[in-house]
Structure 1
Amino acid sequence: MMKQLPLLGATLLTLFSASLHAGSGIASLTLDNDYFINRDDGYTNGLYFTLYDRSGIPAMADDSTAPEHSVLVSPLMWSMPTERQYGSVNALKFGQSMFTPADLTLTEPDPNDIPYSAMLSLTNSYLVLNQDHADVVHSTLGIVGPAALGKESQKLVHQVLGSDDPQGWGSQLHNELVFQVGRGRIWRHWASELDNMDLLTSLKGSVGTIRSAASSSLIVRYGRDLKRSFGSFLLLDSRTTNPVAVSGEWYVYAGLQAEYVFNEIFMDGNTFRDSASVNYDHSFIGLNFGVAYSWGRSSLTFAVNHSDLLQPSKDRYSDETRYGTLTYAWQF
């Protein structure tokens, strides 16, 4: 089963990508890692490959040929707006996430620290852009536990880098099929006359065994041609990145996020079996900031996420879920 999962994910992405409109496709590779902020614990690594199909963007034209969505988000499409649309994006992401405790040399990890865990997942996000707001639905299916290959991935990377060999993967979460669905909206409240500054707010919610949470964000940006890319901020939580930045624009941004987490499998442990877990503060206020730059048919995005502002450094969850993320995207 473990050897078949990566092949299954690649096969699903191949099937979904067959529906891409000619010339409208974008692909991206995203690396999340706490090494970007000089750490090696908590959310320690994530590697994702994403395919995007878009229409109406970036020209902000009437969207008459919207890309098809997959069966993953079909049950959620009733909640999407039916008024005139100026663009839409269908994003399909396959990847691996890993969480580890602070001390990787312990065979029996600290029971008060974040447990070892990994997840292989497939996410479909569907975004609809309008004149001054955008909406998104997303759905994720995945598996946590040894079948997610976290032990093998981290040991290989640490061997290449010459880092400490992680010893505690024997205590990781058990194999479990997991899911999550979500809905969000972002508003563009203000923009400068030259379209080089704007102010965004968002509301998002998700439910599932992976994570259930509600959040709100305030985002300030400075850059070029910002109107074409504001909706893509709804994709950040699903580890997909800016699907419209391959059009000559650039920007820097800072965002303030307030969030309440109801459940988080990487902290609470397995849903239906006893496993390692850790107590954490379910409320969170954090600062995210980053930069996106595009040239030709490519773009590069770097961001630092979940820099908590209020919780004390001893809080495991808020302190150890900080990470940097680097994405390269290209149009084909």
Structure 2
Amino acid sequence: MYGVNTYADTNFASITLDNDVFVGKDNGYTNGLYFSLYNVGVGLRPNFWVSPLLWTMPRGYAENRINVHSIGQTLTTAEDITQANPPEGSLPYSGLLKYTNTHIVVGSRFTDWVSTSVGIVGPAAKGKQTQTEFHALIGAEKPMGWDTQLKNEFVFGFSRGRAIRVLASRSDTMDLLAGGQLSVGTISSGVNAAIMLRLGQNLRDSYPTVSLASSRASNPIAVNNSWFVYAGVSANYVFNQIFTDGNTFRDSRSIDYDHNYNTFMTGITYTIGRDSSLSFAYLSSFSDDDTEYSRQTERLNRFGTLTLVWEF
């Protein structure tokens, strides 16, 4: 597994499963499945997908670089999946199939990244088929409201982020990270700022992996025969997001929601043998006010997530 001190080219892959069943629910952001390929090497060049934002990236300090290619499917549903015609104010049914390319520049105390996502939302994303067949497999209730889902639409998004290793113990067993991200696009537009406390081993080598969680395609992961636990909070403001606002250019279902919210995250990750790593995390949003708008936002941002990574 790679770290910031690894200069030889390395390739690895990951599979990530997000599901609200991990937290005892089956509504809102109900499922996400992502497969990612990673190329690691100090001499890597960015892919053309991220060209629009490369001018924002710093020059000269890279100790390593990472190119990430991710493809995944995201599903959202109304609170009561037994209703064929969910009432007004229910979170719209939606399936999103998207590809994301991320370029990460790693330094000793700074990690910067840019990403571009393209995809499709609507019946073409096959969300109805995925959830219906999975529920039949596990004997769960059949979701009835997919005929009300968002319409087919091409979607896109651009993101720019940075993580900073603010503090670190001399033994490299504890550190404090801070960071933020700006996103623009029809998938979502918003800003966030976050802090994270970690306890474990070989933390310097693994701190760049916090950037992998920015697109939900992966989670922070342990590297180089190590482990760590972490907890953090983020402050977020969302200008638009297709899962709640509905289709951008066509009439569709939509809801009002809390644009300003906070997120709590905690997780554990450890390496398995020499070439793989496992990570589990829990995320939940919270707001200063307990309103229906804040509860809608919470349904989109409360889930458990599991990532398996292996080198090849």
Instruction: Report the TM-score, using the length of structure 2 for normalisation.
Output: 0.94
Quote the residue 2:79 is aligned against.
102
CA shift at 1:188, angstroms? Answer: 0.6
1:80-229, aligned counterparts within 5 Å?
A: 80-229=57-206
Quote the residue 1:25 is aligned against.
11
Q: For 2:48, what is the secondary structure of its paired residue? A: coil
Q: For 2:208, what is the secondary structure of its paired residue? A: helix
Tell me, in whole angstroms, the C-alpha distance in 1 between the residues paired with 2:127 and 2:162. 33
Tell me, in whole angstroms, the C-alpha distance in 2 between the residues paired with 1:242 and 1:151. 26
CA shift at 1:223, angstroms? Answer: 0.5
Which amino acid is the alignment partner of residue 326 of structure 1?
L
Tell me, in whole angstroms, the C-alpha distance in 2 between the residues paired with 1:256 and 1:136. 20
Q: 1:40 to 1:313 in 2, by over 3 A?
A: farther
Quote the residue 2:305 is aligned against.
325
Q: For 2:212, what is the secondary structure of its paired residue? A: helix
CA shift at 1:312, angstroms? Answer: 1.8
Please state if 1:48 is matched with 2:48: no
Quote the residue 1:11 is aligned against.
none
CA shift at 1:22, angstroms? Answer: 8.8
Tell me, in whole angstroms, the C-alpha distance in 1 between the residues paired with 2:296 and 2:213. 19
Instruction: Report the TM-score, using the length of structure 1 for normalisation.
Output: 0.88
Number of equivalent positions: 303
CA shift at 1:23, angstroms? Answer: 6.2
Which amino acid is the alignment partner of residue 140 of structure 1?
S
CA shift at 1:242, angstroms? Answer: 5.2
Quote the residue 1:240 is aligned against.
217
Which amino acid is the alignment partner of residue 194 of structure 2?
S
Quote the residue 2:4 is aligned against.
none
Which amino acid is the alignment partner of residue 265 of structure 2?
N
Q: 1:277 to 1:199 in 2, by over 3 A?
A: same
For residues 7-27 of structure 1, the C-alpha deviation after alignment (integer angstroms, 9 at most, x for no partner) is: xxxxxxxxxxxxxx9961010
Which amino acid is the alignment partner of residue 308 of structure 1?
F
Which amino acid is the alignment partner of residue 136 of structure 2?
Q
Q: For 2:181, what is the secondary structure of its paired residue? A: strand
Quote the residue 1:36 is aligned against.
22
For residues 9-47 of structure 1, the C-alpha deviation after alignment (integer angstroms, 9 at most, x for no partner) is: xxxxxxxxxxxx996101000000000000001100000
Aligned 8 A contact 1:313 1:319 in 2: no
1:53-72, aligned counterparts within 5 Å?
A: 53-55=39-41, 63=42, 65=43, 67-72=44-49
CA shift at 1:308, angstroms? Answer: 1.9
Q: CA RMSD in A?
A: 1.6
Which amino acid is the alignment partner of residue 131 of structure 2?
Q
Quote the residue 1:255 is aligned against.
232
Quote the residue 1:299 is aligned against.
277
Tell me, in whole angstroms, the C-alpha distance in 1 between the residues paired with 2:70 and 2:187. 16
For residues 136-172 of structure 1, the C-alpha deviation after alignment (integer angstroms, 9 at most, x for no partner) is: 0000000000000000000000000111101110100
Unaligned regions of 5+ residues in structure 1, if any? 1-20, 56-62
For residues 223-262 of structure 1, the C-alpha deviation after alignment (integer angstroms, 9 at most, x for no partner) is: 0010111122122121233586342121100011000000
Tell me, in whole angstroms, the C-alpha distance in 2 between the residues paired with 1:38 and 1:311. 23
Which amino acid is the alignment partner of residue 299 of structure 1?
S
Which amino acid is the alignment partner of residue 27 of structure 2?
D
CA shift at 1:309, angstroms? Answer: 5.2
Tell me, in whole angstroms, the C-alpha distance in 2 between the residues paired with 1:117 and 1:244. 29
Quote the residue 1:4 is aligned against.
none
Q: For 1:142, what is the secondary structure of its paired residue? A: strand
